Structure 1
Amino acid sequence: MKNLRWISWRHNSSSLPTNFPQQELRCLILSGGLQKQLWKGYKYLPSLRMIKLHCLKNLNMTPDFGGLPNLERFMLSRCPHLEEIHPSIGDLERLIFLVIASCDNLKMLPPIKKLENLSISECNKLSLVRKKVASSDLSHNLEHLTNFFVTVFPCCSENVYDDELSMDVEYLEEPLLLYNSIKKQTGLHFISRGLRKLILNDCHLGDEDMESDVWDLPNLQELNLSQNDFSRLDFTILKLPWLKWLDVSFCYSLLKLSNLPSSIAVLRADDCYLLETAGNISNCKWLWKASLMGKNEIDGDIILESMLQGNAIEDHFISLNLSGHYIPKGFVGKLVKGDTFTLQLPHNWYDNFCGFLVCNANSYPAPCVKISIKQELDKDSQYEVWSVSNEATRRHIKSTYIGYVSFKSLRRHTSWSSSDDCDTIFFSLCNKYKTSSKSESMFLAKLIPKGDVMQTTEVATDCLEFYEEEREYGKTFTIQHHSKSSIKIIWDPLN
């Protein structure tokens, strides 16, 4: 075992074996142990890159980090008796990733120099003291914070008693982020302008918080403000010039979004029941994905038209989710009943069309559409046309999903040659949530002529600006298979 590099130890013993190899060990994962400390004193593990500690019920102190010079990731969860993280963690030059969750008695975090990713949740007694995580050393090293983000959960601001307010902010060095629900001392305070990702969901943020002058974050790219209490967001006040991903879902009081930054690529505003407008998004040329599900007053035609006028029409995908009662006018009365649809391609289609648009309206959530571009299928398909202007029909529909795929993007990123041998696009719906024969699905797909969509300026598109990061359950569009004569795509609108 002298070359052992990875240990994952699930046990109920009160001590960790001491005879494991130390020089080559890269990863140490411990869970379910009864020990109060991992080891006594100082232990030199020069190659160790990651430590994960989970459900160590008696652990009251982390080890001395002085012997772990190359540690990069430290994850700590469900250690209820842990009160302190050894101060030597602040001397680690390579530590960039720190996760602390469900450590109810943790009271203090030492300053840490070059963190890029920080997540804190369910650490009730850390509510005020956690501000010390950002020290003057951190603020002087913002050039290292290219991917820094902070996660704040509501449980981090609960269970704070009035006598704890004696720990005044002036005793805490340069707080990175603070949210307090205490009436005597409320507000948001940002110091690090190097933040790129910020999650503030369910933090009871109101209009006064969103109109504060603390929102000058020039490097922020991703912002999650879901489940908050504000009624409006004005991005002339929120100075976020490079914001690409915004989530305001479940903000039940939200009435208005205005002046979205032109850099925005992804907008999520599901179940914002009072939302009336997303403002003028005609300048949001990178917007390719928007989700506005649930009852609201948004005009889906305006959103779709603006997205089709953006950069995605030539070089990317488009995915738009709307509440079921809203069918864009270009599809009203034309949708075809069924779980499949076939779109025939005319001669010289690649020269005349920039891509294809597909609409799926159905009575159940979370569809997944398989798209195949290839030679004509052998069997003919018969369809029953429904008029969706009929109110009885609309009541069956829960969700409407609109997707767009550009031919140019497919040709650029795959071996597909867009050959004239391909004359059919076949759409099929697969959905594990479809539970009964009464479930209804309707389709329509159409080609978008190149002359129909005019770009105001010719741009050299950098696809990184579309900010298509893979999420927990995958990507919105996934190229499953491709060859010179065919291609298969999975479109999952909820990813």
Structure 2
Amino acid sequence: MGSLRYLFLDGVAIKGLPCSISHLTQLDYLCLKNCRNLRSLPNTIGHLTRLSTLNLEECRNLRSLPNTICGLKSLKTLGLDSCSSVEAFPEIMEDMEHLEELNLCGTDISELPSSIEHLRGLWHLQLNKCEKLVSLPNSIGNLTCLVRLCVSNCSKLRNFPNNLRSLHCCLRDLDLGGCNLMEGEIPSDLWCLSSLKFLNLSGNHIRCVPVGIIQLSRLFTLFVNHCPMLEEIGELPSSLGWIRAHGCPCLETETFSSLLWSSLLKCFKSPIQLADWRFVVPGRNGIPEWVRHQRMGCEVGIELPMNWYEDNNFLGFALFFHHVPLDDDECEIAEGSLPHYEWTISHGDHSQQLEKISFYSKCCYDSGSTSDPAIWVTYFPQINIPCEYRSRRWNNFKAHFHTPIGVGSFKCGDNACFKVKRLWDAFLVRPRSDPLASAIKRKPW
């Protein structure tokens, strides 16, 4: 048995492990997932110096880990997800340089020990749904390899590290969704995280996105879904390519002069042009009236100007579509096929697909279902059209929305069924200072 490398005890009704577990000196992977009767681990587990993965997920009666856990010098992944009886994480008395992923989601901890700084190689720390968590230690700022920090749905969390800026060179993903943060409670150090690419502020009680966000020059994804008090999204960094602001009933989206659409145009004009640009906002009032020149049609297109490929004032193409929730008896879903839209360029009978983007099961929402309609805006910059199609010969550009079945139903969220009600294309063939000039409206099914 001394040469055993993998041990799977998933769902076994054991209350503990024998002290002789230490004899498995070659053990690399130990899985005790869903051992509901497991209450403790022996101190001798610290002798498993070659163990790289310890999975304790859903061990709901496990109350603590032994302090000897720091003896697992090869440990890379430690999973305690849904160990709801674990009230504290042990002190780390010496460096654990190889631990990369620590999952404490759904545990009963109220704080982390300051000695967590000894996890020097940690790059992913998950604390989602820790309902009693009230603070994060300042020593987190010493985790210079930390790339992802997830503390969503920690409703009592109020005390953040005062040295978050120490993570400016490493932290890329920060999830603060569902923390019930009030206006002014988002730590100001957050805006110093110059490497940040993903930020989730959904489910918080903020009236506006703080102005400091403009300093996040590498931010690509911003979620502010289901913020019931959110009224305004101000100036945003031009690096953004994926914005979700769905389920925000107070957010103003109807007038072109709103800061929201001004920020949208700024992203369109960015020197960094993205082929997969997406923006989701509340759709209770449909497409804004300032989107003009609407025509009915299933496949929508435009004839391009003669020298479009040489025109620096020609930004690209924006696609607006409005989708609304359906009752269960209206919902028809084709399994195994995803709805999608396509951008194509053509001349005569010849056409070429430039981009195809599918809608996945959680395409608009963070979690669960919603009854709110939404507007989805996507953008395709003209400079992303390949050079072989940049000529006078290719003179038509089209967008088409496809669904697996004709009624256009699709799944979006865990329990929500939707269908596209109308589709518009706005072709941005205009001087840069003008508003969006034209749009085409899709006939409702």
Q: Compute the TM-score of the two structures, normalised by the length of structure 1.
A: 0.62
Say whether the 8 Å CA contact 2:324–2:420 is kept in structure 1.
Answer: yes
1:198 corresponds to which residue? 149
1:60 corresponds to which residue? 39
1:463 corresponds to which residue? none
Instruction: Tell me the alpha carbon deviations over residues 49-96 of structure 1, each in whole angstroms, 9 at most, x when there is no partner.
Output: 433322213323336445543333222122233334344431223323
* Counterpart-to-counterpart distance in 1, 2:382 and 2:20: 62
Tell me the amino acid that sits aligned with residue 305 of structure 1: L
* Counterpart-to-counterpart distance in 1, 2:156 and 2:79: 24
1:468 corresponds to which residue? none
Deviation of 1:103 after TM superposition, in Å, equals 2.6
**Structure 2 residue 231 is the aligned partner of structure 1 residue 240:** no
Give the 3 Å change call, closer, same or farther, for CA 104–436 of structure 1 in structure 2: closer
2:101 corresponds to which residue? 117
2:340 corresponds to which residue? 369
Tell me the amino acid that sits aligned with residue 122 of structure 1: G
Secondary structure, counterpart of 2:181 in structure 1: coil
Secondary structure, counterpart of 2:293 in structure 1: coil
2:250 corresponds to which residue? 296
Secondary structure, counterpart of 2:261 in structure 1: helix
Say whether the 8 Å CA contact 1:377–1:424 is kept in structure 2.
Answer: no
2:373 corresponds to which residue? 398
* 2, 15, 29: which one aligns with 2:8: 29
Instruction: Tell me the alpha carbon deviations over residues 152-179 of structure 1, each in whole angstroms, 9 at most, x when there is no partner.
Output: 4243x1xxxxxxxxxxxxxxxxxxxxx4
* Counterpart-to-counterpart distance in 2, 1:402 and 1:289: 10
Instruction: Tell me the alpha carbon deviations over residues 184-233 of structure 1, each in whole angstroms, 9 at most, x when there is no partner.
Output: xxx54331213432222233358x757x8454443432222222131246
Deviation of 1:290 after TM superposition, in Å, equals 1.2
* Counterpart-to-counterpart distance in 2, 1:376 and 1:52: 59
Deviation of 1:402 after TM superposition, in Å, equals 1.0
Among the aligned pairs, what percent are the same residue?
19
1:224 corresponds to which residue? 175
1:440 corresponds to which residue? 421
Give the 3 Å change call, closer, same or farther, for CA 23–419 of structure 1 in structure 2: farther
* Counterpart-to-counterpart distance in 2, 1:301 and 1:426: 22
Secondary structure, counterpart of 2:267 in structure 1: helix
**Structure 2 residue 50 is the aligned partner of structure 1 residue 70:** yes
* Counterpart-to-counterpart distance in 2, 1:152 and 1:436: 27
Structure 2 spans left out of the alignment, 5+ residues: 253-257, 327-332, 351-370, 404-408, 435-445
Tell me the amino acid that sits aligned with residue 198 of structure 2: W
Deviation of 1:409 after TM superposition, in Å, equals 4.8
* Counterpart-to-counterpart distance in 1, 2:46 and 2:87: 21
Instruction: Tell me the alpha carbon deviations over residues 243-297 of structure 1, each in whole angstroms, 9 at most, x when there is no partner.
Output: 322111122454452221332221111122322233333xx13112211223233
**Structure 2 residue 225 is the aligned partner of structure 1 residue 270:** yes
Say whether the 8 Å CA contact 1:286–1:310 is kept in structure 2.
Answer: yes
Secondary structure, counterpart of 1:249 in structure 2: coil
Secondary structure, counterpart of 1:243 in structure 2: coil
1:97 corresponds to which residue? 77
Deviation of 1:108 after TM superposition, in Å, equals 4.9
Give the 3 Å change call, closer, same or farther, for CA 436–107 of structure 1 in structure 2: closer
Say whether the 8 Å CA contact 2:321–2:377 is kept in structure 1.
Answer: yes
1:492 corresponds to which residue? none
Tell me the amino acid that sits aligned with residue 229 of structure 1: L
Deviation of 1:119 after TM superposition, in Å, equals 1.9
* Counterpart-to-counterpart distance in 2, 1:249 and 1:437: 22
* Counterpart-to-counterpart distance in 1, 2:110 and 2:349: 65
Give the 3 Å change call, closer, same or farther, for CA 285–253 of structure 1 in structure 2: closer
Structure 1 spans left out of the alignment, 5+ residues: 1-17, 158-178, 181-186, 380-395, 455-495
Q: How many residues align?
A: 370
* Counterpart-to-counterpart distance in 2, 1:437 and 1:188: 39
* 50, 58, 78: which one aligns with 2:29: 50
Deviation of 1:427 after TM superposition, in Å, equals 1.7
Tell me the amino acid that sits aligned with residue 400 of structure 2: F
Q: Compute the TM-score of the two structures, normalised by the length of structure 2.
A: 0.68
Say whether the 8 Å CA contact 1:321–1:401 is kept in structure 2.
Answer: yes
* Counterpart-to-counterpart distance in 2, 1:274 and 1:105: 34
Say whether the 8 Å CA contact 2:323–2:418 is kept in structure 1.
Answer: no
1:106 corresponds to which residue? 86
Instruction: Tell me the alpha carbon deviations over residues 19-56 of structure 1, each in whole angstroms, 9 at most, x when there is no partner.
Output: xxx6373x443322122345551455566443332221
Give the 3 Å change call, closer, same or farther, for CA 73–345 of structure 1 in structure 2: farther
Give the 3 Å change call, closer, same or farther, for CA 33–92 of structure 1 in structure 2: same
* Counterpart-to-counterpart distance in 1, 2:206 and 2:110: 26
**Structure 2 residue 38 is the aligned partner of structure 1 residue 79:** no
* 115, 127, 136: which one aligns with 1:151: 127
2:267 corresponds to which residue? 307
* Counterpart-to-counterpart distance in 1, 2:3 and 2:384: 48
1:318 corresponds to which residue? 277
* Counterpart-to-counterpart distance in 2, 1:47 and 1:342: 63
* Counterpart-to-counterpart distance in 1, 2:420 and 2:10: 45
* Counterpart-to-counterpart distance in 2, 1:44 and 1:436: 54
* Counterpart-to-counterpart distance in 2, 1:286 and 1:100: 35
* Counterpart-to-counterpart distance in 2, 1:265 and 1:407: 20
